[in-house]
């Protein structure tokens, strides 16, 4: 069943602009992760934020997590054409549901950065 839902579904910006993608989820989580996927390729892990963290940075990426609103955002600053890809959030609720590791992915945001 789908847990995370990204918004917007598609985003088109100019190089140098910032890109913000949002993710909303329904149940309590252990952590939330963001992944990137270039067209037709595998997913690449970008960043993991735990439920007791509010903000995390990695290079040009900034992720926030608001557990009270069950939402997260991914900000890419000073975007480049090479950032063009789909971005997915994935939630891990395994510590709450029990059983095995089960990352549940959203449908993704398709980001296009125009040169």
Partner 1 sequence: ETGVTQTPRHLVMGMTNKKSLKCEQHLGHNAMYWYKQSAKKPLELMFVYNFKEQTENNSVPSRFSPECPNSSHLFLHLHTLQPEDSALYLCASSKGLGTGELFFGEGSRLTVL
Closer residue to partner 1, CB minimum distance, 40 or 115: 40
Is residue 94 at the binding interface for partner 1, with CB under 8 A as the rule? yes
Window of 10-18, 44-52, 57-65, 66-74 that interacts with partner 1 by CB under 8 A: 44-52
Q: According to CB under 8 A, which one of 21, 23, 29, 33 is a site residue for partner 1?
A: 33
Rounded distance between C-alpha atoms, residue 76 and residue 16, angstroms = 10
Cβ closer to partner 1: 68 or 101?
101
Instruction: State the sign of the Cα–Cα–Cα–Cα dihedral 21, 42, 13, 62.
Output: positive
72 pairs with which residues across the strands?
23, 65
Helix (H, G, I), strand (E, B), or coil: what is residue 98? coil
Using the contact rule CB under 8 A, the part of the chain among 56-64, 65-73, 74-82, 103-111 near partner 1 is 103-111
Q: Judged by CB under 8 A, does residue 59 bind partner 1?
A: no
Residue 68 CA to residue 79 CA, distance in Å, equals 29
Task: Choose, by CB under 8 A, the member of 67, 73, 105, 112 that binds partner 1.
Answer: 105
Rounded CA gap, 87 and 25, in Å?
15
Cβ neighbours around 65 below 10 Å, total: 21
The residues of the shown chain that bind partner 1, judged by CB under 8 A, are 2, 30-31, 33, 35, 40-45, 48, 88, 90, 92, 94-95, 99-108
């Amino acid at each position: 069943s789908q847990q995370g839902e990204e918004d917007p579904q598609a985003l088109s910006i100019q190089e140098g602009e910032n890109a913000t993608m949002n993710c909303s989820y329904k149940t309590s989580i252990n952590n939330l992760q963001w992944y990137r996927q270039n067209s037709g390729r595998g997913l690449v892990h970008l960043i993991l934020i735990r439920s007791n963290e509010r903000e995390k940075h990695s290079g040009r990426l900034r992720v926030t997590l608001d557990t009270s609103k069950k939402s997260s955002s991914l900000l890419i600053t000073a975007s480049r054409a090479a950032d063009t890809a789909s971005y997915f959030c994935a939630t891990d609720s395994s510590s709450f549901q029990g059983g095995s590791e089960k990352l549940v992915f959203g449908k993704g945001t398709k980001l296009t950065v125009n040169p």
